Amino acid sequence: MTSPFRNLPSVSRLLVHRRIRPLLSQMASDSVAELVRQQLQEARRAIAAGHECPPTEALVESVLARAELLLQSTLRPVINASGVIIHTNLGRAPLSREAIAAMEAVSRGYSNLEFDLTEGERGHRQVHLETLLCQISGAQAAMAVNNNAGAVLLALTALAKEREVIISRGQAVEIGGGFRIPAVMHQSGARLVEVGTTNRTYLSDYQQAITSDTAALMRVHASNFRIIGFVESTPLEDLVRLAHEHGLLLMDDLGSGCLIDTSQFGLAAEPTIQESVAAGADLTLFSGDKLLGGPQAGIIVGREELVAGLRRHPLARALRLDKASVAALAATAIHYVRDEALEKIPVWRMIAMPLPTIERRARRWARAIGAPAHILHGRSMIGGGSLPEEGLPTRVIAIPAHGGRSVTELAQRLRLGQPPVIGRIEHDQLLLDPRTVAPADDSTLVEAVAAALGR
Ligand SMILES: *Cc1c(COP(=O)(O)O)cnc(C)c1O
């Protein structure tokens, strides 16, 4: 009996196949050979499992399909119609046009990233950020690292290693995406001392926990959930006073770096960076890509001598921000200095979008899509661990199961379209919220929905 493997072509025979050869003009020859080897390997496994030897044409077809997949990045733009403005899984904050232009400008060629043009000698990347970040926060000094988890790690490592940091039990939490405050503190070598209970922590709880080993009190604005009812937390001013009376530091992890009063949009007041600085926090830490609306970054503002020490710490080098992010963060900060954040920064444009504008777009979508799409009153969410139960009133397009397709099937067809469209399922309907969709994408979205409905 002949071995079923004998009918498999060799790597070299497939490489000269008339449909494989053109791949060599699009891909490195080693990559083509590797794809062919992977395909043959898979065929051998299938044969060993009792399947028949696939015909050569089928192998070629599969190699071509693999090549096509490999040549497109798996990371691609999507249309976020979920109504969640800061969606961590969808890349958090979209950037302003100016921030994107700034990234492109410094990426295309060389820049004075770490070069002092006046003196013609080595400079520092933080100088491009510090003045701006101080201006918008009111702090004495500022710096930025790769992300806020990194900022917390850096601050605790540099200032509290092998010492105690006191934190309320209600704040020693997981923020999302597996970022757990106790785990990061452990990693830094600081010893976490939890005080109070989950729902109530008083100033006296902190006071009683202070020892000669204490380095800092820490507040974490853990805002991706809310404990309601019988709740007591300590105002930041009181924590600052207590810390300073004992010669300790007060570190404030704000999470979402908010500079704008959210109550003007009918939301709860998210604590702002300026309030934290004004209350006397020694260091205030926050993300660049949540409510700040900029690139991924961890920003630290606070007292000059503390920030200077952090800048010199070896971890600062390991966590440093790349030039494109420095450029985008500076451009984002300039929007605040110019008082144009609500018009220019996409997350704030979305938050500030007037309901009549949303309603008009929703009606246009509904008309273009036709039945069974209809308009409902809904809520857009801030997301990104901010204002968990708040929402902004919005109008959504709702699509129920239709033409033999369930709502989950419809949602999947939209996700697998080009471009992918991400909606949200509620009460057995697929909801699409115009608030988080760039108006320039309106017609693309309508076409994608029509295609998913099988039109
Ligand atoms: C989001 C968040 C972090 C983590 O910030 P990244 O920029 O995602 O690293 C840390 N602390 C709080 C309170 C947060 O909300």
Domain CATH code at residue 171 = 3.40.640.10
Q: What are phi and psi of 270, to 5 degrees?
A: -75, 135
Alpha carbon 246 to its chain centroid, in Å, reads 37
Ligand 1 atom closest to the CA of 298, numbered from 1 = 7
Among 293, 312, 344, the domain boundary falls at 344
Q: Whose CA is nearest to atom 14 of ligand 1?
A: 255
CA–centroid distance, residue 101 to ligand 1 (Å): 26
Distance from C-alpha of 286 to C-alpha of 294, rounded to nearest angstrom: 12
* Pocket-testing residue among 175, 256, 258, 387, ligand 1, by greatest number of atoms within 8 A of Cβ: 175
Distance from C-alpha of 157 to C-alpha of 309, rounded to nearest angstrom: 11
Which residues approach ligand 1 with their CB closer than 6 A? 147-149, 152, 175, 179, 220-222, 253, 255-256, 287, 298, 385
Residues 62 and 141 in one domain: no
Residues 319 and 375 in one domain: no
Alpha carbon 125 to its chain centroid, in Å, reads 23
pLDDT for res 201: 83
Question: Residues with Cβ < 8 Å from 8, sequence gap 6 or more?
Answer: 40, 43, 44, 47, 53, 59
CA–centroid distance, residue 256 to ligand 1 (Å): 7
Distance from C-alpha of 252 to C-alpha of 91, rounded to nearest angstrom: 25
Ligand 1 atom closest to the CA of 256, numbered from 1 = 15
Domain that holds residue 152: 95-344
Residues 133 and 21 in one domain: no
Residues 187 and 207 in one domain: yes
Residues 255 and 395 in one domain: no
CA–centroid distance, residue 21 to ligand 1 (Å): 49
Nearest to 87 by CA among 385, 392, 330, 440: 385
CA–centroid distance, residue 223 to ligand 1 (Å): 10
Residues 134 and 280 in one domain: yes
Report whether 203 contacts 250 (CB < 8 A): no
Alpha carbon 451 to its chain centroid, in Å, reads 29
> How, if at all, do strands 298-302 and 141-145 pair?
antiparallel
Distance from C-alpha of 445 to C-alpha of 438, rounded to nearest angstrom: 10
Among 320, 344, 368, the domain boundary falls at 344
| Block mean pLDDT (10 aa), the chain, length 455 | 81 94 94 96 93 93 94 94 95 97 98 97 96 98 97 97 94 71 89 86 93 96 62 85 98 94 91 97 97 98 98 97 98 98 98 97 96 95 73 96 93 95 96 97 96 89
Distance from C-alpha of 118 to C-alpha of 24, rounded to nearest angstrom: 50
- The C-alpha angle 103, 152, 138, rounded to 5 degrees, equals 70
Residues 365 and 337 in one domain: no
Q: What pTM was computed for the model?
A: 0.92
Residues 100 and 195 in one domain: yes
Report whether 35 contacts 70 (CB < 8 A): yes
CA–centroid distance, residue 286 to ligand 1 (Å): 7
Residues 27 and 136 in one domain: no
Distance from C-alpha of 382 to C-alpha of 313, rounded to nearest angstrom: 35
Among 299, 320, 344, the domain boundary falls at 344
Ligand 1 atom closest to the CA of 384, numbered from 1 = 1
Nearest to 195 by CA among 214, 167, 173: 167
Distance from C-alpha of 422 to C-alpha of 439, rounded to nearest angstrom: 16
Ligand 1 atom closest to the CA of 253, numbered from 1 = 13
Residues 109 and 62 in one domain: no
Instruction: Give the total number of structural domains in the chain.
Output: 3
pLDDT for res 175: 67
Distance from C-alpha of 314 to C-alpha of 304, rounded to nearest angstrom: 18
Q: From residue 27, how far is each of 14, 37, 64, 301, 319 by CA, in Å?
A: 15, 15, 12, 47, 35
Residues 259 and 367 in one domain: no
Residues 186 and 293 in one domain: yes
Q: Whose CA is nearest to atom 15 of ligand 1?
A: 255
CA–centroid distance, residue 131 to ligand 1 (Å): 23
Question: Residues with Cβ < 8 Å from 105, sequence gap 6 or more?
Answer: 111, 327
Ligand 1 atom closest to the CA of 254, numbered from 1 = 13
Ligand 1 atom closest to the CA of 220, numbered from 1 = 13
Ligand 1 atom closest to the CA of 179, numbered from 1 = 4
* Pocket-testing residue among 92, 148, 168, 185, ligand 1, by greatest number of atoms within 8 A of Cβ: 148
